[in-house]
């Protein structure tokens, strides 16, 4: 098995993270939905007021570090439950799936949530994404069909 480690994301990882985000958007049949620029992505992760954090799964390919996947999260506050880790995306590039990278990233998220004394982890999964649903079921995830996702796009 390859030598895979998990570390905190760095600013210089952002171009690769955006590649993986675009790969996920292709998988979800929505490549046109990725409109974030590299500059905005870097600023919101590593600028003076960062709003997201991430862990990356790295290995070595051809003598260079290679990011095979990542988990990006931010803090969400529930008035009923308290602080929660909100997992925005967990992505493992297709050729590297099946090597327990997703589990490594998920366990790192669990550790982060415990260290920060969050009361839980929240995330979304598309109803048709059976591989992801089955992955999350391994962690006793609770699926809640009662709530409807809502978003409002802001015009700039």
DSSP 34-61: ----HHHHHHHHHSSS---EEEEEEEEE
**What are the residue numbers of the active site?**
136
- Angle at the Cα of 106 from the Cα atoms of 130 and 33, rounded to 5 degrees: 55
Long-range contacts of the stretch 119-125 (C-beta < 8 A, 24+): 119/78, 119/81, 119/82, 119/83, 119/84, 120/81, 120/84, 120/85, 121/84, 121/85, 121/86, 121/87, 122/76, 122/78, 122/84, 122/85, 122/86, 122/87, 123/86, 123/87, 123/88, 123/90, 124/149
Question: Can you tell me the distance from the alpha carbon of 146 to that of 96, in angstroms, rounded to the nearest whole number?
Answer: 34
């Amino acid at each position: 098995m390859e030598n895979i480690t998990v570390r905190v994301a760095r600013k210089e990882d952002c171009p690769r993270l955006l590649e993986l985000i675009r790969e996920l958007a292709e998988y979800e049949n929505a490549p046109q939905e990725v409109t974030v620029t590299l500059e905005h992505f870097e600023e919101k992760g590593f600028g003076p007021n960062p709003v997201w954090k991430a862990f990356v799964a790295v290995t070595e390919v051809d003598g260079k570090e290679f990011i095979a996947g990542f988990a990006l999260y931010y803090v969400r506050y529930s008035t009923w439950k308290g602080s929660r880790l909100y997992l925005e995306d967990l992505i493992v590039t297709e050729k590297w799936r099946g090597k327990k990278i997703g589990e490594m990233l998920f366990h790192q998220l669990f550790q982060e949530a415990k260290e920060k004394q969050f009361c839980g982890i929240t995330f979304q999964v598309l109803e048709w994404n059976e591989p992801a649903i089955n992955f999350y079921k391994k962690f006793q995830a609770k699926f809640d069909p009662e709530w409807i996702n809502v978003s409002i796009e802001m015009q700039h």
